[in-house]
Amino acid sequence: MRKKVTVVGAGQVGGSCARRLAERDYADIVLIDIVEGLPQGKALDILQAAPIVNYDSDIIGTNDYADTAGSDLVVITSGSPRKPGMSRDDLLAVNQKVITAVTGEIVKHSPDCIIIVVTNPVDAMTQLAWKVSGFPTNRVVGQGGVLDSARYRTFLAQELGVSMRDITGYVLGGHGDQMVPLPRYTSVSGKPITDFIAPDRLEEIIQRTRDGGAEIVNLLKLGSAYEAPGAALVEMIDAILLDQKRVLPCAAYLEGEYGISGVYVGVLIQLGAGGVEQIVDLDLTAAESALLNQSADAVRELVDVMGI
């Protein structure tokens, strides 16, 4: 039997995620939104591409959580996207309400699922979803690092004129502004990135990565990024539903790792059928560790503001 995936929020990110996942051809998908007609229309559109692209994934759109029952995995993209000039944190109050309501419905209808949260500010929203769900921490994970790392690798590959596939590297910490770059763990097919790029230039690329979301918001004006976020989600969904045991940077709940406790922060984790199967405790320098702690403090602040 195919896996069942619910994507909550049939907006830009939810639509991109659903389409990419349908094309992977191993899961049936339920797209749900509060807006009537939107998930139904998007689902039908994606379904009608199936004979051309060649997949048999079933996809339905709905406004009724009963249709999501028994999902193996639920992705939460619902909420308000960041508008120009708006920080991720401005979204907190708006999205707190949405995530609380949505998570309650998910738990009621899919008590055994794994939840991936995308809604910003993602680390805090992931912590909120975990709290509301009552799930163990391994079954609630946030997406941020996979996207930021993809942006980082894209810019590095462009800079060096090498294939995207040959850049290995990732960033930890909070999504976007709070990210913790790790040039020490970045390489071109194993050769350290610092052998190829001068420190100043590397810093510029890191800064562009940090501002990666804002750069797109400023260009699009009417919304935020969705193609790369959708792709990042599907990489995580594959890791879980195909039990790939991928090692990816995601927002996970820390209980003493890196000297941080009681908060969701972007770290390297092993992602498989059990969700967050392991937190990879990397060796960090004092400076890197300080940045990661700053990220954790920023999430704690939001968690306090939300009163959870």
Supply the residues annotated as catalytic. Answer: 175
Closest contact distance (angstroms) between CB of 251 and ligand APR is: 13
Q: What token pair was written down for 55?
A: 């997949």
**How far apart, in whole angstroms, are the C-alpha atoms of residue 303 and residue 89?**
11
Least Å distance between CB 223 and ligand APR? Answer: 5
Hey, which bits of the chain come out as E strands? 3-8, 27-32, 59-62, 73-76, 114-117, 140-142, 167-168, 171-173, 179-181, 187-188, 191-192, 246-255, 261-272, 275-279
**Cβ contacts of residue 245 below 8 Å, gap of 6+?**
239, 270, 271, 272, 277
Instruction: Point out the residue whose Cβ comes nearest to ligand APR.
Output: 11
Q: Residue 193 in contact with residue 183, Cβ under 8 Å?
A: yes
The residue among 11 and 174 lying less far from ligand APR, judged by its C-beta, is 11
Q: Minimum distance between the CB of residue 174 and ligand APR, rounded to whole angstroms?
A: 13
Burial (CB count within 10 angstroms: exposed 0-12, middle 13-18, buried 19+), residue 242: middle
Which residue, 81 or 249, has its beta carbon nearer to ligand APR?
81
Which C-beta is closer to ligand APR: that of 101 or that of 290?
Answer: 101
Minimum CB separation from ligand APR for residue 13, in Å? 3
Whichever of 217 and 254 has its CB closer to ligand APR, that residue is 217
Distance CA 79, CA 99 (A): 8
List residues binding ligand APR (CB under 6 A).
Answer: 8-14, 33-35, 38, 77-82, 91, 95, 98, 101-102, 118-120, 223-224, 226, 229
**What's the closest the beta carbon of residue 202 comes to ligand APR, in angstroms?**
26
What gap in Å lies between CA 42 and CA 111, rounded to an integer? 26
Contact 243, 273 (CB under 8 A): yes
Please give the structure tokens belonging to residue 125.
Answer: 């929203």
148/288 with CB nearer ligand APR: 148
